[in-house]
């Protein structure tokens, strides 16, 4: 797959036609936070704070690649996922892709959209020169990522902080 500079693709599923494209500033509204709240707590912040974060991501566009799935017939955002591109000293200044916050609207789950999104992000990471793409998920979601072409590797650890 070769992507244009925006990394957009159209996907055709049984349930209709969808565009996988970069998140735009105007997309980040209450509905978007509602979609994300299927992942974890995602309260709606003040618009100014959202704008500041969006500008930060734009300034670091080589690192942050947030994609959404848009339903063609309704122009509704029905999925979202992030690829972070980490630049390393090891592996001759190699790059690693990190997949984060993959979510599909509840009523649209099971249609193949999550898989199309993850495959897109992984292919995009490869196109950006990443030698691998990694992610952390629950045991419950492992089979989904296996269907997307990922394999189990090592273990995940976490330390939670107050802030
Ligand atoms: N267990 C086993 N198989 C699964 C699961 C599961 N939990 N979820 C999907 N699959 C299978 C499907 O049956 C399908 O198989 P097939 O190709 O043989 O038909 C294949 O995986 C692809 O499924 P999709 O329809 O593309 O998955 P969907 O669009 O429903 O998206 C997702 C999956 C993103 C996990 C969705 O259920 C969701 O949004 N869940 C809530 C949020 C969430 O948990 N996100 C993942 C967090 S981890 C992270 O972000 C790195």
Task: Give pLDDT, residue 7.
Answer: 79
Task: Give pLDDT, residue 127.
Answer: 93
Among the listed residues 27, 78, 79, the one whose alpha carbon sits nearest the alpha carbon of residue 50: 27
Give dist(CA 14, CA 124) in Å, integer: 24
Task: Give pLDDT, residue 1.
Answer: 57
Task: Give pLDDT, residue 102.
Answer: 98
Task: Give pLDDT, residue 86.
Answer: 98
Q: Whose Cα sits closest to atom 48 in ligand 1? A: 137
Q: Which residues in the chain come in under a pLDDT of 70?
A: 1-6
Give dist(CA 57, CA 54) in Å, integer: 5
Q: Are 37 and 103 in contact (CB under 8 A)?
A: no
Task: Give pLDDT, residue 5.
Answer: 60
Distance 7 CA to ligand 1 centre (A): 22
Distance 85 CA to ligand 1 centre (A): 23
Q: Most distant CA pair in the chain: distance in Å?
A: 45
* 31 C-beta neighbours (distance < 10 Å), count: 13
Distance 90 CA to ligand 1 centre (A): 33
Task: Give pLDDT, residue 64.
Answer: 97
pTM for the model stands at: 0.96
DSSP state, 72? Answer: T
Name all residues whose Cβ lies below 6 A of ligand 1: 38-39, 99-104, 109-115, 135, 137, 140-141, 143-144, 147
């Amino acid at each position: 797959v070769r992507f244009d500079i925006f990394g957009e693709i159209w996907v055709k599923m049984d349930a209709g036609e969808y565009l996988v494209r970069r998140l735009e500033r105007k997309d980040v509204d209450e509905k978007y936070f509602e979609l994300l709240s299927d992942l974890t707590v995602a309260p709606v912040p003040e618009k100014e704070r959202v704008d500041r974060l969006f500008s930060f991501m734009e300034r670091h566009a080589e690192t942050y690649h947030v994609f959404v799935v848009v339903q063609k017939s309704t122009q509704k955002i029905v999925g979202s996922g992030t690829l972070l591109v980490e630049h390393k000293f090891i592996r001759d200044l190699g790059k690693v892709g990190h997949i984060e916050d993959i979510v599909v609207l509840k009523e649209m789950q099971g249609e193949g959209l999550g898989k199309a999104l993850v495959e897109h992000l992984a292919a995009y990471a490869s196109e950006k020169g990443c030698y691998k793409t990694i992610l952390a998920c629950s045991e419950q979601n492992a089979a989904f990522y296996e269907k997307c072409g990922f394999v189990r590797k090592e273990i995940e650890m976490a330390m939670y902080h107050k802030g």
